[in-house]
Every structure is written in structure tokens, then in C-alpha cells.
């Protein structure tokens, strides 16, 4: 088998997650790793068992590398994705696709002109029961959608001493909680329901208006604490928590809450979609079961099981029922579809995976939510 050789750029939390998922695909080889310096790239590559290490410019010159995964901080996504496309590489980029709509629009256009495969890592679509809800809705089992209630709650920025580059607008943009996790929620909302969000009303809260930035390196999600003298006070301008009212193109309404300061909620995305026939409810911290609500008969629990889900959902499931699958599997299932396209050599006409165009859509929604919070008013999308 001639394996597709891949280069991964960035080794924070998400880069190794991409690598682990890619290594589970039989037609893919993670051949190279890239970091900001040659020395760091070599250190990280050795630790992850990757033979070749480069700086970014060097990586793009490697003719045998067909695809690039951009897993760097947000402010680098645009320039690195653009450079990779211009170098003739297929690109899988972390979200957000860019820092603003102008950059994202340029990337969508460039990707279309090149014909190269382009994807944005909205991997949470690939929980099998998320696709099952979409499939059931498409078959008319949900009925007309009355409302969407969603939340995405985390606690990794709960303490004033919690700090990360995502808190710095020059690296992550003017929105944090909405851009970071709200983007996943808004993407999966439209993916499952088929609705378009046409207006938003947002209200943000910055719980910790000043945070203590470590003067020593602390890894994301590590939970490590330093001494008082090891911190510097930094003013915070991005949101820890946000509530957003939504209006949809079918005339009905929804609401979402996102928070990175909810103690005990480690990474909990929760969805409740109410229709004229049923209600679907699902939570990412219990991803292998889905609640189906009925008015005139007993409610139901559907377990993730390839023999029980719809036929068009089975490709997202690897193991039999009762053998739980979770977050690491979502990236594998997404990359399986992306690399089928890469093996074919071009972007499909109707991709099943999230593309740069989807990245643009979520950036547009997030910018309108940010605009709404500033105006404290409804904003049309």
C-alpha cells in the first residue's frame, strides 16, 4: 500500500490528538512534524516517534508530503493554510479557519481554485449519535423543529490562575469561549438540524477581569499550580461565559450557553432539539446514548450500536454496541472521510466532512455574536 504522507504543524494539546487519530488509518503515515524551531521540532518528533522534523518553510518543500495538518494557535491558521495550499498540499486546519472573515473568504476561494482537499476540524460532528440525529431528522422522524437548547461547558479556566494563549486576543481573536467552543456548538446545531441561524442576541460575561499569567510554562489541562511570585497580573477582555438567543430560518428559536468557568464540567456539550414529532437529547460526556422524547408513549434510549443506527450512520462506528467510542474516535472518523478524498486527489463535489466553507460560516456566526454583544442588540446574519 502506498501510504499518504502527512506533516503535522504544532504540538500543543490538539496536534498529538491529530497524530493519534491519523495513526489509526491504514492508508496514512504521519511522516513529519513541524514546530517553531528546528530544535523543538526534533525534540517533539522524537517524543512522538516521528522520523522527520522541520520548521514550517522546510516542511512545505518536502515533495513527498501530500497533506498538512494545521494545529497551531489561531493567529497562524490563515497564513499557514494559505502557504500550504500554494505549495500544492491538501490542508486540514484547526478551527477557527482564520481570525477574520476577509482571511477566511480568501482561503475558501484559494482552496476552490486549487481543487485541493480542504477541511476544518469540526470533529464533534463525528460522534455517531450526532449523525444519527441528523439522519433521523432527514427521514422526517423529528418533524418541524420547534427549538434548540444547547450548552458547551468547561472548567479549565475556572481559577484566576488558569492561563493559556487563548486568553490573548492577538493570538486567538476578540472572542474566546464563543470562538473556541461555541463554534463547535453552532456548527453541530446547523449540521444536525439543517436550519440556518439568521439572527443572534448575545450577552457575554468576563468573570475574571484580571488573570494571573504564569511566568513559567504550564501545559493546557495539566492542572499544575505555581507559586505567587511566578505570576503576572494581566487584564482580560474576552468572555469566560456567554448566552446567545438564536432565530432560525424556519421562524423558530433557540438558545445556547457556553462557559469555560463551570466547575466540574470538564468538556460537556449538551444538545436538546425539540420537533413536532419527538425531542432528541444528547450529551458529549455520555456520547454512546441518545434520549428520544415522546408525548404519547414511553420515552426511549438509543445506544450507539451499528446494528441499531440508520444505515447511513454505520460508517462512523468501528466497534460493536457496548464497546464505547468517544472523543479520540471522532477525529479518526472525520479523517477517514477526508483521506478518502485525498486518495482520490481532489475535493469532492459534495463533501461529507466540514470544509473551509464551513469554517467561513462559523466565523461569520461568531463575528455576528460578538457584534451583538457589543451592541447589546439583535444582529442579523
pLDDT-flagged residues of the chain (< 50): none
Residue 222 included in any domain: yes
pLDDT of residue 172: 83
Catalytic entry in 89, 95, 134, 332: 95
347 beta partners: none
pLDDT of residue 294: 98
343 beta partners: none
Q: Are residues 315 and 291 in the same domain?
A: yes
Active-site residue, 42 included: no
Q: Are residues 192 and 276 in the same domain?
A: yes
CA distance 266 to 263: 8
Residue 82 included in any domain: yes
Residue 337 included in any domain: no
Residue 336 included in any domain: no
CATH code of 200's domain: 3.30.360.10
Q: Are residues 153 and 47 in the same domain?
A: no
Residue 145, SS3?
Answer: strand
Q: How far apart are the first and last CA of the chain?
A: 47
- Inter-helix orientation angle 101-114/356-375, to 10°: 170
- Is beta strand 67-70 parallel, antiparallel or unpaired with respect to 4-9? parallel
Q: Are residues 110 and 216 in the same domain?
A: no
pTM: 0.93
Q: Are residues 372 and 319 in the same domain?
A: yes
Q: Are residues 212 and 314 in the same domain?
A: yes
Residue 281 preceded by cis peptide, ω within 30: no
pLDDT of residue 217: 66
**Domain range holding 64?**
4-116
The total domain count for the chain is: 2
CA distance 285 to 365: 25
pLDDT of residue 224: 60
pLDDT of residue 227: 72
Contact yes or no for 320/328 (Cβ under 8 A): no
Residue 254 included in any domain: yes
Amino acid at each position: 500500500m502506498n501510504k499518504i504522507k502527512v506533516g503535522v504543524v504544532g504540538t500543543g494539546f490538539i496536534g498529538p490528538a491529530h497524530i493519534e487519530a491519523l495513526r489509526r488509518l491504514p492508508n496514512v503515515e504521519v511522516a513529519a512534524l513541524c514546530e517553531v524551531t528546528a530544535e523543538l521540532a526534533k525534540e517533539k518528533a522524537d517524543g512522538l516517534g516521528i522520523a522527520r522534523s522541520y520548521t514550517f518553510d522546510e516542511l512545505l518543500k518536502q515533495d513527498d508530503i501530500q497533506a498538512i495538518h494545521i494545529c497551531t494557535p489561531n493567529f497562524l491558521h490563515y497564513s499557514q493554510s494559505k502557504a500550504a495550499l500554494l505549495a500544492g498540499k491538501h490542508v486540514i486546519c484547526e478551527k477557527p479557519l482564520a481570525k477574520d472573515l476577509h482571511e477566511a473568504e480568501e482561503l475558501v476561494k484559494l482552496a476552490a481554485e486549487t481543487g485541493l482537499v480542504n477541511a476544518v476540524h469540526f470533529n464533534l460532528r463525528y460522534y455517531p449519535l450526532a449523525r444519527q440525529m441528523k439522519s433521523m431528522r432527514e427521514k422526517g422522524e423529528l418533524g418541524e423543529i420547534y427549538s434548540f437548547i444547547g450548552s458547551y461547558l468547561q472548567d479549565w479556566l475556572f481559577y484566576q490562575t488558569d492561563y493559556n494563549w487563548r486568553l490573548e486576543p492577538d493570538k486567538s481573536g476578540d472572542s474566546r469561549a464563543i470562538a473556541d467552543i461555541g463554534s463547535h456548538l453552532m456548527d453541530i446545531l446547523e449540521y444536525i438540524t439543517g436550519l440556518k441561524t439568521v439572527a443572534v442576541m448575545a450577552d457575554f460575561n468576563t468573570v475574571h477581569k484580571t488573570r494571573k499569567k504564569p511566568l513559567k510554562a504550564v501545559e493546557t489541562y495539566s492542572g499544575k499550580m505555581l507559586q505567587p511570585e511566578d505570576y503576572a497580573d494581566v487584564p482580560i477582555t474576552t468572555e469566560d461565559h456567554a448566552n446567545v438567543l438564536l432565530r432560525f430560518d424556519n421562524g423558530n428559536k433557540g438558545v445556547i450557553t457556553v462557559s469555560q468557568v463551570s466547575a466540574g464540567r470538564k468538556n460537556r456539550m449538551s444538545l436538546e432539539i425539540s420537533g413536532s414529532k419527538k425531542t432528541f437529547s444528547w450529551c458529549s460526556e455520555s456520547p454512546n446514548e441518545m434520549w428520544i422524547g415522546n408525548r404519547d408513549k414511553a420515552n426511549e434510549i438509543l445506544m450507539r450500536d451499528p446494528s441499531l443506527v440508520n444505515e447511513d450512520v454505520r460508517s462512523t462506528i468501528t466497534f460493536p454496541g457496548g464497546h464505547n467510542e468517544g472523543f479520540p474516535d471522532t477525529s479518526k472518523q472525520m479523517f477517514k472521510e477526508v483521506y478518502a478524498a485525498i486518495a482520490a486527489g481532489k475535493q469532492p463535489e459534495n463533501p461529507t466532512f466540514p470544509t473551509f466553507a464551513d469554517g467561513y460560516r462559523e466565523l461569520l456566526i461568531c463575528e455576528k455574536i460578538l457584534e451583538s454583544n457589543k451592541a447589546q442588540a439583535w444582529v442579523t446574519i
